[in-house]
Structures are given as structure tokens and as C-alpha cells.
Amino acid sequence: MSDFETVAATEFHTAQPGPAGDVNAPSQPHSMETQKPRSAGADAWRELRRKPLFWIGLVLALFALVMAFWPSLFTSADPQTCQLSRRMAPASGGAIFGFDVQGCDVYAKAVYGTKNSLMIGGLAALLAGVVAMLLGVTAGYFGRWWDAIVSRVVDIVLGLPLLLAGIVFMRRVANAGGGANARVWALIAILGLLGWTTAARVIRSSVITAKQQDYVHAARMLGAGHGRIMLRHILPNALAPFIVIITMALGAFIAAEATLSFLGVGLIPPSQSWGLSISEMYPYMRENAIPLAVPSAFLALTVLAFIILGDTIREAFDPKLR
């Protein structure tokens, strides 16, 4: 979070010199800092700090992140060692949620599933973000035929709902006969390449607004090149909505991975994933619902964390909502 704050604080110059900066300034004693007007980024951070919901989202997301990188901190059991003799056995020792149909430790499986979900969600969001940034900024900045082409491509990709296209593309990958690892990378590529459209549209429209501002004309007059104008003067204006959309996309991609795995076109064993566990345990729901409920709860909490983060950041940056 501190990264974003410093980036936002330094980059959000002159963007919105609105009255919000001065109105509620002296609420906290900051001695020197209260004297100078705050930037939009610092203002948003003050707003965010006071929201319990933001901290809940942040803690949940960080928790999931730690679990993804160091699953052995949370469980000493190996999710791959399953014994049929323990089929649907109740909780015992380290296995606090008991065992599933194949006699695997339900809790350990859910803990180890975190890595794939976060990796797929995170890398797909990163890929979608890069594509959206490149196409959105250039389409908005250069306009003309390039804008027309990008806009039509956006239309076409939007014409295929994410889930629908994901199923068809993943089917193709499945038929090509990739292993479990190849599926992970295919999912990242497909979700990333299908999920950039909304972000690109938002960036494009904020670039179009920004490029007509006086300070952009001034920069051009001073001899700044296209690259410098785009990076230093236009991009910072599109940063806040971009971060929000990408955070929310991260949650949506994690959910999409689970959905595709549930429908049988996502990950395959021996990969560990919540969607895969849900898909495997769903038929045995009537017999014992716990092996289904645990990965479902992990999935819902993680997606929720990123949606909450995105939502609270969006509210903090939108002065209209205050």
C-alpha cells in the first residue's frame, strides 16, 4: 500500500486542485505538513485510513498473500498425501476440517490452493493492466485511425463474455494436451487477454480529457516528446481509476479461474486450486458439505478482499462521494 501512496502522492500534481484539500485540513495535528496543500493522492490516503472496511480488505488480502508464498506456515500436512481409509473422516489433529472423499486433508488442500488462485489472478490482472495501459493511452493520445482500430477490437472482445470466451479458449488448450502447469499459464494468458477492455476504455477517456488541458499544451510547447507527455503529464491522471479497476479485476479473475475449474476446463490435478476442490467435492455435497464449504469460504473471502480494496480506494478518490 505504501508504494501506491508514494506514487500517487508524487504524481497527482495539479490534477484536481479542488476545495477538499483545505476544508478538512486541520483535523489531525501534523505541525509542518498541514501548511502546504495536499495532493489528491495524499487526500485519498487520509480518507482511506479512517475506513475500517479498507483495513479489513487489506488484512485479508495480505493474509492470502502470505498464505500463497508460505503455505507451510499454516499447515504441516501435505495436501498430496491422501489415504482412502480416512475418507470423509472427521477432524483430528492438524486436519481441523477433517478429510474429503479421497481422504485428503481439507484444510491443507485449501491452504495450498491459495498460490494458484492468487498467481493466476495477479498475473492475469498484471497482463490485462499492461495491455489496457498500452492500448488505452495510445488510442486516446493519438486518436484517428489507431483509436478506431482499438475501439473496434474492444467492441469485439466485449462481444464475447469473459466466461464464455474463457470456456472456448480453454477447451482448445485442453485439446492441445498441455500438462497441469501449461494450464496455469494458459489461464493467465486467456484471462489477461480477454479482461483488459473495461480498463482500456476508462484510460482512453481520461486520456482524451487530459490531453486538452493547458498544462499538456504547455508541455508540448516546451518541446516535450510524445513519450514524455504521455508518461509524465497524462498517465498520472488515469492512474487512480486504473488501480481500482485492476484491483477489482484481480478478484474477478480469481473467481473466473474457480468457475472455469468448476466447469472442468480450468486447472487439472495435480494442481491445487479452490475451484478444482469445489468441482471435485460438489457431487458429494449431500454426504458431507464441509469439504465443499472450506474451499468455497477461502475463495469467497479472497475475492471479497480485493473487491473491498478496489471499492474503498475508488470511494477515497472520488470527491463526489464524500
Partner 1 sequence: MFRYLVRRFLQMILVFVATTFIVFALMYATGGDPIQALAGERPVSEQQRAQLTKLYGLDQPFLVRYWNYLTGLLRLDFGKALNGRDVSEIIASALPVTAKLALIAIITTIVVGVVAGIIAGVRRGSIFDNSTLVLTLIVIGIPIVTLAPLAQYIFGIKLGWFPATAAGREDDIYALLLPGIILGALSVATAMRLTRASFNENLRSDYVRTARSKGLPGRRVIGVHVLRNSLIPIITFLGIELGALMAGAIVTESVFNVNGIGFNLARALRTEDAPLVVGLVSVLVIIFLVANLIVDLLYAVLDPRIRYE
Is residue 172 close enough to count as binding partner 1 by CB under 8 A?
yes
Amino acid at 296: S
Kindly indicate which of the ranges 27-35, 100-108, 235-243, 307-315 contains the residues binding partner 1, using the contact rule CB under 8 A. 307-315
Distance, in Å, from the CA atom of 66 to the CA atom of 73, rounded to the nearest integer, reads 9
Site map (CB under 8 A) of partner 1, residues 48-67, x = contact? -----x--------------
* Nearest to partner 1 of 52, 227 (CB atom): 52
The answer to whether residues 122 and 309 touch, using CB atoms and an 8 Å cutoff, is no
Kindly indicate which of the ranges 64-72, 82-90, 218-226, 254-262 contains the residues binding partner 1, using the contact rule CB under 8 A. 254-262
Is residue 212 close enough to count as binding partner 1 by CB under 8 A?
no
Number of H helices, E strands in the chain: 14, 0
| Three-point CA angle 104, 108, 111, nearest 5° | 140
Is residue 82 close enough to count as binding partner 1 by CB under 8 A?
no
Is residue 11 close enough to count as binding partner 1 by CB under 8 A?
no
Is residue 321 close enough to count as binding partner 1 by CB under 8 A?
yes
In whole angstroms, how large is the CA radius of gyration of the chain?
A: 23
Residue of 216, 265, 313, 316 interacting with partner 1 (CB under 8 A): 265
Residue with cell 480485493: 306
| Cβ contacts of 165 within 8 Å, gap of 6 or more | 157, 190, 194
Distance, in Å, from the CA atom of 128 to the CA atom of 99, rounded to the nearest integer, reads 37
Minimum distance, C-beta of residue 151 to partner 1, in the bound complex (Å)? 9
Is residue 255 close enough to count as binding partner 1 by CB under 8 A?
yes
The answer to whether residues 31 and 302 touch, using CB atoms and an 8 Å cutoff, is no
DSSP-derived letter for residue 233 is I
Minimum distance, C-beta of residue 217 to partner 1, in the bound complex (Å)? 29
Kindly indicate which of the ranges 69-77, 106-114, 217-225, 293-301 contains the residues binding partner 1, using the contact rule CB under 8 A. 293-301
Give the cell for residue 258: 474457480
- Which residues are at the interface with partner 1 (CB under 8 A)? 53, 152, 155-156, 159-165, 167-169, 171-172, 175-176, 251, 254-255, 258-259, 262-265, 275, 278, 282, 285-286, 289, 292-293, 296, 299-300, 303-305, 307-308, 311, 320-321
